[in-house]
A and B are shown apart, each in its own frame.
Chain A
């Protein structure tokens, strides 16, 4: 998570950029099926650039749950305390579709803009 150089301000800017995308990333992970907090954090960490601490992910899960995008259920864990599983609701699937197309547009626009800058 730490930047090689540039100090905390760069980290903060990157964190702000990532924050808006993390919600979409969580919805995309849950599209594959129900998952619990620790697993979601691990799956995010598998993608460089999407690494997020639990202190960031759990509040986002609470927000998505409050917005009706996720439903929850408790399930016993084979190795520890019970886990809370998050599942995409139809509203969450609709939200994922909407955010996905918005992301595609944004990505195209930003890529075009940044490539234009490079020339």
Chain B
């Protein structure tokens, strides 16, 4: 019964699209098992009376986990402090924690680290100080006015810029790569006569000056004094 109920809720949600939804569905399975263990057995009516229909439960869950519930202007504070240093061991799993690194509404440039002890840069405050944006440029009301397709495009822009950058670096790095190494011996197709001719011919003359000493230039022969 509980598997059926969870399956129906999952179906109404259109699959567990986010980790939070997947976790909430796992919790629902455990909650139903606990409810059954309290003497309600597999009584469908009792389950529906306590949890609602799968459609109602899915609607409540969707409402509870809707992204709109996360206010980007109010990031979560650090988990705790040790000797005045903020410490957070949750990691950037929650949007409220991640919001610390982009919080234009908060003038403080330093925010508690997303994971570990110490501080990290609040890039939103930095952008405000550099006069790139205003503190209220990206609040919830403004975001609501932006069409979802534009937001998706904006979210994909960093990946596109990164791909262009990597492509550019590869294109620029190409010419400075060392040429293919050729061994000093005769090339496979050269005839013995051609090799002998090349060995006999003098090196190309330089323009009147002494040969420049490079890394691989031979040292001049020492003269006996």
Stretch from B56-64, B125-133, B149-157 at the A interface: B56-64
B110 interfacial by beta-carbon distance below 8 Å: no
* Distance (whole angstroms) from the CB of B92 to the closest CB of chain A: 11
The answer, among A59, A71, A77, A79, for a CB contact under 8 Å with B60, is A59
Query: How far apart sit A50 and B189, CA to CA, in the bound complex (Å)?
Result: 93
* Distance (whole angstroms) from the CB of B22 to the closest CB of chain A: 11
- A67 contacts which chain B residues (CB < 8 A)? 69-70, 76, 94, 96
Stretch from A4-12, A27-35, A83-91, A105-113 at the B interface: A83-91
Per-residue CB contact flags for chain B residues 38-82 toward chain A (1 = under 8 Å, else 0) read 100000000001111000110011011100011000001111100
Q: A53-B51, A54-B51 are in contact. Are A59 and B63 (CB under 8 A)?
A: yes
B35 interfacial by beta-carbon distance below 8 Å: yes
Contact check, B65 vs A58: say whether CB atoms are below 8 A apart.
no
Contact check, B60 vs A89: say whether CB atoms are below 8 A apart.
no
**Which of A36, A59, A80, A89 is most buried by chain B, counting CB atoms within 10 A of its CB?**
A59
Contact check, A91 vs B77: say whether CB atoms are below 8 A apart.
yes
Query: How far apart sit A59 and B21, CA to CA, in the bound complex (Å)?
Result: 10
Contact check, A59 vs B24: say whether CB atoms are below 8 A apart.
yes
Contact check, A81 vs B34: say whether CB atoms are below 8 A apart.
yes
B140 interfacial by beta-carbon distance below 8 Å: no
The answer, among A59, A71, A82, A90, for a CB contact under 8 Å with B77, is A90
Contact check, A58 vs B77: say whether CB atoms are below 8 A apart.
no
B38 and chain A: residue at smallest CB distance: A38
Per-residue CB contact flags for chain A residues 11-53 toward chain B (1 = under 8 Å, else 0) read 0000000000000000000000000111000000000000001
Contact check, B34 vs A55: say whether CB atoms are below 8 A apart.
no
- B80 contacts which chain A residues (CB < 8 A)? 90
* Distance (whole angstroms) from the CB of B88 to the closest CB of chain A: 9
Contact check, A38 vs B34: say whether CB atoms are below 8 A apart.
yes
Interface size on A, as a range, is: 20 to 34
Contact check, A55 vs B60: say whether CB atoms are below 8 A apart.
yes
Contact check, B30 vs A68: say whether CB atoms are below 8 A apart.
no
Per-residue CB contact flags for chain A residues 58-85 toward chain B (1 = under 8 Å, else 0) read 1111110111100100000101111110
- B96 contacts which chain A residues (CB < 8 A)? 67-68, 91
Contact check, B94 vs A68: say whether CB atoms are below 8 A apart.
yes
- A71 contacts which chain B residues (CB < 8 A)? 90
Residue ranges of A at the interface with B (Cβ–Cβ < 8 Å)? 36-38, 53-56, 58-63, 65-68, 71, 77, 79-84, 89-91, 94
17 contacts between A and B (CB under 8 A): A37-B27, A38-B38, A54-B51, A55-B52, A60-B64, A62-B20, A62-B24, A62-B61, A62-B64, A66-B94, A67-B69, A67-B94, A80-B33, A80-B37, A83-B30, A91-B76, A91-B79
Residue ranges of B at the interface with A (Cβ–Cβ < 8 Å)? 20, 23-24, 27-28, 30-31, 33-35, 37-38, 49-52, 56-57, 60-61, 63-65, 69-70, 76-80, 90, 94-97
- Smallest CB-CB A-B distances: 4 pairs: A80-B37, A63-B64, A59-B64, A55-B52
- Other than A63-B65, A80-B37, give 17 A-B pairs with Cβ distance below 8 A: A38-B31, A53-B49, A54-B35, A55-B52, A55-B56, A55-B57, A55-B60, A59-B60, A59-B61, A63-B69, A66-B65, A66-B95, A68-B94, A83-B30, A83-B34, A89-B90, A90-B80
